């Protein structure tokens, strides 16, 4: 082997070493999101995850020097990806609830929401209790699901569960269910973007305020701290408001 060849091998090896140590230095955090929840998280026509949640977490990551990668992940089982270590964070319009707090940790809240009812334009429903004996579509395991369980009972055959909120709304348009209960932002967005959907929205004063948080594996204090610091920073410097106004107006 001549010295030229040796030199080449050595430099290839060296480059490989550099590349490897770099890969270790900058961890890429895997972020789970159920991207069927516009305007918070959805896929654009290039199949990229976009939305309010994406802009918020990207701004947080920039502040705290994190590299993140969004991975479209089905809602059912999304929280289990934290305990298995497949994902480092879940940002998916997740409402912080006492039950969920037992199995994962949440960041400070980044959005306030509440449930909203969608029904056909000619429906007689005017308040939540009118749904007592009607067929109601929800996304499985969401707070909408919990709320209707409280009214109809856990085992009610009239609760129709769907793997995504758009599927539940489709069923409402097709007349398969009488109403859908889901987060206000998503219902408002759907009705605004589908003027031919013949749906109307009903707000009910009994619905409690909900707060979205970013979820991490239980006990991952270091990551939670980084997220909370970044969130506080983007709230303080106006970045949060800019993103909020982009999606929800002033």
Residue ranges binding ligand ARG (CB under 6 A)? 34, 37, 41, 75, 92-95, 139, 142-143, 165, 183
Contact 215, 79 (CB under 8 A): yes
Q: Characterize the bridge pairing of strands 210-212 and 111-113.
A: antiparallel
Rounded to a whole number of angstroms, the minimum distance from the CB of residue 194 to ligand ARG is 18
Q: In what order do the strands lie in the sheet with 36-37?
A: 36-37, 41-43, 49-50
Rounded to a whole number of angstroms, the minimum distance from the CB of residue 37 to ligand ARG is 3
Rounded to a whole number of angstroms, the minimum distance from the CB of residue 90 to ligand ARG is 9
Shorter beta-carbon distance to ligand ARG: residue 178 or 210: 210
Nearest-angstrom CA–CA distance, 210 and 191: 21
Phi, psi of 234 (to 5 degrees): -75, -20
Shorter beta-carbon distance to ligand ARG: residue 101 or 198: 101
Shorter beta-carbon distance to ligand ARG: residue 142 or 226: 142
Count CB-CB contacts under 10 A for residue 177.
24
Nearest-angstrom CA–CA distance, 98 and 4: 66
Rounded to a whole number of angstroms, the minimum distance from the CB of residue 82 to ligand ARG is 14
């Amino acid at each position: 082997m001549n010295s030229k060849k040796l030199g080449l091998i050595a430099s290839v090896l060296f480059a490989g070493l550099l590349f490897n140590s770099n890969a270790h230095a900058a961890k890429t955090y895997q972020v789970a999101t159920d991207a069927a929840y516009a305007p918070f998280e959805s896929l654009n026509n290039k199949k990229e995850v976009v939305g309010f949640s994406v802009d918020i977490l990207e701004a947080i990551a920039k502040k705290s020097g994190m590299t993140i990668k969004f991975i479209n992940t089905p809602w059912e089982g999304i929280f289990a990806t934290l305990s298995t270590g497949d994902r480092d964070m879940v940002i998916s319009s997740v409402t912080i609830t006492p039950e969920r707090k037992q199995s994962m940790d949440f960041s400070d809240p980044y959005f306030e929401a509440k449930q909203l009812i969608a029904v056909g334009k000619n429906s007689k429903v005017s308040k939540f209790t009118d749904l007592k004996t009607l067929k109601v579509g929800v996304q499985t395991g969401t707070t909408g699901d919990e709320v209707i369980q409280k009214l109809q009972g856990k085992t009610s055959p009239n609760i129709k569960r769907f793997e995504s909120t758009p599927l539940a709304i489709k069923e409402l348009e097709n007349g398969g269910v009488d109403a859908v209960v889901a987060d206000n932002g998503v219902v408002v967005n759907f009705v605004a973007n589908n003027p031919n959907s013949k749906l109307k929205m009903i707000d009910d004063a009994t619905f409690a305020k909900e707060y979205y948080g970013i979820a991490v594996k239980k006990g991952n204090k270091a990551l939670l701290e980084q997220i909370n610091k970044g969130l506080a920073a983007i709230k303080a410097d106006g970045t949060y408001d800019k993103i909020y106004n982009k999606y929800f107006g002033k």
